[in-house]
């Protein structure tokens, strides 16, 4: 007998459409500015080291605060935190667009990260809340599909706006999209704020975790320039470990008010998903960084052409992410994340055989297989991680998982850059780095097979009291 799925109502469809636009907004903002850096340098007579913080500053603030944003969304209501985060995001988008000097631009861009850190976990929680329980796999597929498409479109959209209008319009375009999504969510997404919540904000936990993550992410960002043995990097890593230890002590004393409550911190299945995400994010981000570099520096592509060179991977990523939602409901998490990890490993091995005369067409099969693996893995691991914790913790769980992704990407950047720098030439360095990444994918496969699992449809229905 064929299984029937709960159909989406008009309200659910409108809400999911609006929240998908919000996912697009966040995803696009991570990649759209990369091609506008030269124009910003020229207008403000700046250098690449300073201007690069348009991207780094936003990512740093976003990564440091996202866990706190997830906890706030679960405590005070995802809809409310989403509105607050969007207001911050829009306000500083406006200031960034009208920036009169580089420092105003960098500060505005960094403070946009506060808004993004509040928006993203709230969006995840609302999407999973809107989606019927028997279609939770589709939620993860929808999120990753839209994120993949927005990441792919970002450089092209940013380049088009920069060439035809100005880099300032990359900021300005956020405003109407954000206003539209807020209006639709206000109309169709129910207020999920708890009445008279007794939870208190864990200020000590927020402070110690934020300082710890700040030290880690700054160290991983600067290690490319300073090296692992630099006193600066050693001090930053010491800050990370000291404040991480303080955070653990603070959390044990905070009890039910902890930033990461015990039912989440002690959930082995959830943190197995986090470790797998950390390992596989090294693979994903290395491809995002070094495939365009190979196309630009070896094959002589322009920045726009190099960005478009990622389209085979990113388009397949988006398409497979959406399809994997229905596969999750049939096969479960373990099979799909394992298949995705295998594809990422194979794709990395195929891309590792680079030489100075390797044409782009030889990269396409590897990019397609890698994109297939990314699409299968990320959408499924998101659903698996969020469904193994209580539904009241879904925003926090999504935020922590994204933190693992950011940390994996930053770690991968430092590791791959070091490997490439030690090689005699760029193709050889990429070959070695991608080979190491393929073995990391194998390590991720072991984690997926042994420890990763999400709730099956039957378990979710039983917990709802339907069976």
Model pTM? 0.75
27 and 150 housed in the same domain: yes
180: which 2 tokens?
A: 């539209």
Alpha carbons 156 and 168: distance in angstroms, whole number: 15
Tell me the helices (H) and strands (E) count for the chain, helix number first: 20, 0
Parent domain of 94: 11-192
pLDDT for 465 equals 44
Report which secondary-structure segment, H or E, holds 408.
Answer: helix 394-421
238 and 270 housed in the same domain: no
- Is residue 297 included in any domain, yes or no? yes
Please answer whether residues 47 and 369 qualify as being in contact, where contact means their C-beta atoms are separated by less than 8 angstroms. no
pLDDT for 259 equals 72
299 and 214 housed in the same domain: no
- Is residue 276 included in any domain, yes or no? yes
Please compute, for residue 368, the number of CA atoms within 13 A of its CA located in the half-sphere on the CB side.
6
67 and 173 housed in the same domain: yes
144 and 243 housed in the same domain: no
300 and 387 housed in the same domain: yes
200 by Cβ neighbours in 10 Å (0-12 / 13-18 / 19+) ranks as exposed
Alpha carbons 384 and 455: distance in angstroms, whole number: 7
178 and 269 housed in the same domain: no
46 and 182 housed in the same domain: yes
Task: Choose the final residue of a domain: 243, 258, 273.
Answer: 258
In order along its 467 residues, the chain shows pLDDT tens digits of 345 566 667 777 787 888 888 888 888 887 787 777 778 888 888 776 677 778 778 877 887 788 888 888 877 888 889 899 999 999 999 999 898 888 898 889 889 989 998 988 888 888 877 776 666 666 666 777 777 777 777 777 887 788 788 889 989 989 998 999 888 888 877 776 666 556 676 778 778 888 887 787 778 767 767 777 788 888 988 998 898 888 888 878 877 777 777 777 778 888 888 888 888 888 887 887 788 778 878 888 776 677 678 788 888 887 887 787 677 767 777 888 899 999 999 999 999 888 888 888 889 999 999 999 988 888 788 888 877 877 777 777 878 888 788 778 777 777 787 788 788 888 888 888 899 999 988 988 988 888 877 554 444 444 444 33
76 and 207 housed in the same domain: no
- Is residue 6 included in any domain, yes or no? no
CATH number at residue 300: 1.20.1250.20
303 and 329 housed in the same domain: yes
pLDDT for 55 equals 77
- Is residue 1 included in any domain, yes or no? no
Provide the domain count of the chain. Answer: 3
- Is residue 198 included in any domain, yes or no? no
pLDDT for 342 equals 93
Alpha carbons 448 and 380: distance in angstroms, whole number: 11
pLDDT for 86 equals 92
């Amino acid at each position: 007998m064929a299984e029937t799925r709960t159909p989406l109502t008009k309200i659910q469809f409108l809400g999911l459409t609006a929240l998908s636009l919000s996912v697009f907004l966040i995803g696009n903002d991570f990649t759209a500015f990369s091609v506008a850096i030269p124009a910003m340098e020229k207008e403000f007579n700046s250098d690449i080291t300073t201007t690069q913080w348009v991207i780094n500053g936003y990512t740093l603030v976003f990564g440091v605060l996202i866990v706190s944003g997830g906890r706030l969304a679960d405590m005070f209501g995802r809809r409310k935190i989403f509105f607050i985060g969007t207001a911050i995001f829009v306000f500083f988008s406006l200031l960034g667009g009208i920036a009169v000097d580089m420092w105003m631009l960098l500060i505005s861009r960094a403070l946009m990260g506060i808004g993004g850190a509040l928006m993203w976990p709230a969006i995840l929680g609302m999407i999973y809340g809107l989606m019927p329980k028997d279609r939770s796999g589709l939620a993860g597929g929808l999120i990753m599909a839209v994120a993949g498409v927005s990441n792919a479109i970002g450089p092209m959209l940013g380049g088009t706006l920069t060439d035809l209008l100005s880099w300032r319009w990359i900021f300005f375009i956020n405003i109407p999209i954000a206003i539209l999504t807020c209006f639709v969510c206000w109309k169709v997404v129910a207020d999920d704020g708890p009445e008279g919540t007794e939870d208190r904000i864990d200020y000590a936990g927020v402070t110690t975790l934020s300082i710890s993550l700040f030290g880690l992410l700054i160290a991983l960002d600067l290690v490319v320039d300073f090296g692992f043995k630099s006193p600066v990097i050693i001090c930053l890593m010491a800050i990370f470990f000291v404040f991480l230890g303080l955070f653990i002590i603070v959390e044990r004393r905070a009890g039910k008010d902890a930033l990461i409550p015990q039912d989440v911190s002690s959930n082995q299945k959830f943190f197995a998903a986090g470790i797998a995400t950390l390992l596989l994010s090294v693979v994903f981000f290395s491809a995002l960084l070094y495939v365009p570099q190979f196309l630009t520096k070896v094959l002589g592509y322009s920045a726009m052409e190099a960005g478009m060179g990622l389209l085979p991977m990113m388009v397949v990523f988006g398409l497979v992410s959406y399809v994997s939602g229905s596969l999750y409901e049939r096969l479960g998490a373990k099979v799909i994340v394992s298949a995705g990890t295998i594809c990422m490993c194979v794709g990395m091995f195929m891309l590792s055989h680079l030489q100075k005369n390797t044409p782009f067409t030889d990269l396409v099969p590897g990019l397609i297989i890698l994109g297939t693996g990314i699409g299968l893995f990320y959408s499924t691991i998101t659903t698996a991680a969020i469904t193994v914790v209580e539904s009241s913790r879904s925003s926090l769980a999504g935020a922590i998982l994204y933190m693992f992704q950011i940390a994996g990407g930053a770690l991968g950047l430092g590791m791959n850059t070091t490997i490439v720098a030690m090689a005699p030439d760029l193709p050889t360095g990429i070959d070695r780095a991608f080979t190491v990444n393929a073995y990391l994918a194998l390590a991720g496969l072991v984690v997926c097979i042994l420890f990763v699992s999400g709730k099956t449809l039957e378990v979710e229905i039983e917990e709802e009291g339907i069976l």
